[in-house]
């Protein structure tokens, strides 16, 4: 039996990405095989499919770091035929064949049960971006940040992680200040729940080690000088979660906010997060991301045949919002 997939290859003649027919028998060894219903196109997928960055570390590779579908076969004790599951991360689409395909063979320990109230399509409209946003919210809660403590800044607020973080935090009663370089999206951010919108240029240049205390907490999706300035502006004892690098991976910072104001900087990793934390995050997404706000964030739906050209558009900045892939069309 053959299945369709986005296949990435690197022969001597050079890199190529194609929509290919592969045999089911070619799927990697794993204890669960799923029928993928929906996948999505993330920034990391875009990098892999366009060969813009060395994301893929084994060749050939089936792309797709996210997937949602039903179990076809399982030798794993947690899963039975017909179970509805979600996959995020774990190196899938990088070192293990991914979910931009009609079927995927995966380790059962990597899977999370699809929560009640979410469809497979909803899960992929949320994707790794929304799941990462919820990990950030959980980290703020674990550090004791409460709505009454003051404003929460979300940087990169129109991006996949940032927009979901704004929606969730506002729903939970926090006063959210959204930072963006896209002034035309201010109304969109207010519809998501932002109480205030500030320009990216207030944060993205080198600043003083300690600045006026403004934020009870920050969800930073940007890195570099933006993260440094966010730390410098957090109130005494406040919390910053770092979950992105849209501006850069560098962190040209001072220790001043940490040793003089007791600021806590918490790293957020979505790829290798333990299963219990993943399950908690997805249960909370089903509960605390309102359906109307998920609809507002929006998700363009495409088929496998459109993935490669859409990946090029994504890398060129021509894609707004989430992209859901129906792998069976």
The pair phi, psi for residue 110, each rounded to 5°, is: -85, -15
C-alpha 236/C-alpha 234 separation (Å) is 7
Confidence of residue 322 (pLDDT cuts 50, 70, 90): confident
Block residue for tokens 């990088």: 94
Average pLDDT over residues 178-198: 95
Residue extents of the structural domains in the chain: 2-114+298-326, 128-267
Range from 39-53, 265-279, 311-325 carrying the lowest mean pLDDT: 311-325
Average pLDDT over residues 74-103: 97
Domain 128-267 adopts which CATH fold?
Rossmann fold (3.40.50)
Q: Identify the three-state secondary structure at position 231.
A: helix
CA angle (184, 154, 150) in 5-degree steps: 120
Nearest to residue 172, comparing CAs of 200, 150, 147? 147
Confidence of residue 31 (pLDDT cuts 50, 70, 90): very high
Kindly report the CATH number that applies to the domain delimited by 2-114+298-326.
3.90.180.10
Tens of pLDDT, residues 120-135? 999 999 999 999 999 9
pLDDT of residue 314: 87
Tens of pLDDT, residues 47-76? 999 999 889 999 999 999 999 999 999 999
Contact indicator for 157, 178 with CB cutoff of 8 Å: yes
Average pLDDT over residues 177-190: 94
pLDDT of residue 317: 76
Tens of pLDDT, residues 107-162? 999 999 999 999 999 999 999 999 999 999 999 999 999 999 999 999 999 988 99
pLDDT of residue 43: 84
What kind and span of H or E run contains 179? strand 176-180
Strands 84-88 and 112-113: antiparallel
């Amino acid at each position: 039996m053959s299945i369709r997939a986005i296949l990435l290859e690197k022969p001597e003649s050079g890199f190529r990405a194609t929509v290919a027919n592969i045999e089911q028998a070619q799927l990697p060894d794993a204890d669960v095989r799923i029928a993928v219903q929906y996948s999505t196109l993330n920034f990391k997928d875009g990098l892999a499919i366009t060969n813009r960055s060395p994301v893929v570390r084994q060749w050939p590779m089936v792309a797709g770091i996210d997937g949602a579908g039903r179990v076809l076969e399982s030798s794993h004790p947690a899963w039975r035929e017909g179970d509805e599951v979600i996959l995020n991360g774990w190196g899938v689409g990088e070192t293990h064949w991914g979910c931009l395909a009609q079927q995927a063979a995966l380790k059962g320990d990597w899977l999370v049960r699809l929560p009640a109230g979410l469809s497979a399509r909803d899960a992929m409209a949320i994707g790794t971006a929304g799941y990462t946003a919820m990990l950030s919210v959980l980290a703020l809660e674990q550090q004791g940040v409460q709505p009454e403590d003051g404003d929460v800044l979300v940087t990169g607020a129109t991006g996949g992680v940032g927009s979901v973080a704004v929606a969730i935090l506002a729903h939970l009663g926090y006063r959210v200040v959204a930072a963006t370089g896209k002034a035309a999206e201010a109304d969109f951010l207010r519809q998501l729940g932002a109480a205030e919108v500030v320009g990216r240029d207030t944060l993205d240049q080198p600043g003083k080690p300690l600045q006026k205390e403004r934020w009870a907490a920050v969800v930073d999706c940007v890195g570099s000088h933006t993260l440094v300035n966010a730390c410098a502006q957090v109130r005494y004892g406040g919390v910053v979660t770092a979950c992105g690098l849209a501006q850069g991976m560098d962190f040209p910072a001072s220790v001043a906010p940490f040793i003089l104001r007791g600021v806590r900087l918490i790293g957020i990793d979505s790829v290798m997060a333990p299963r219990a934390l993943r399950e908690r995050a997805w249960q909370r997404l089903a509960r605390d991301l309102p359906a109307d706000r998920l609809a507002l964030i929006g998700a363009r739906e495409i088929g496998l045949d459109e993935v490669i050209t859409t990946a090029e558009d994504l890398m060129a900045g021509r894609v707004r919002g989430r992209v859901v892939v129906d792998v069976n069309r």
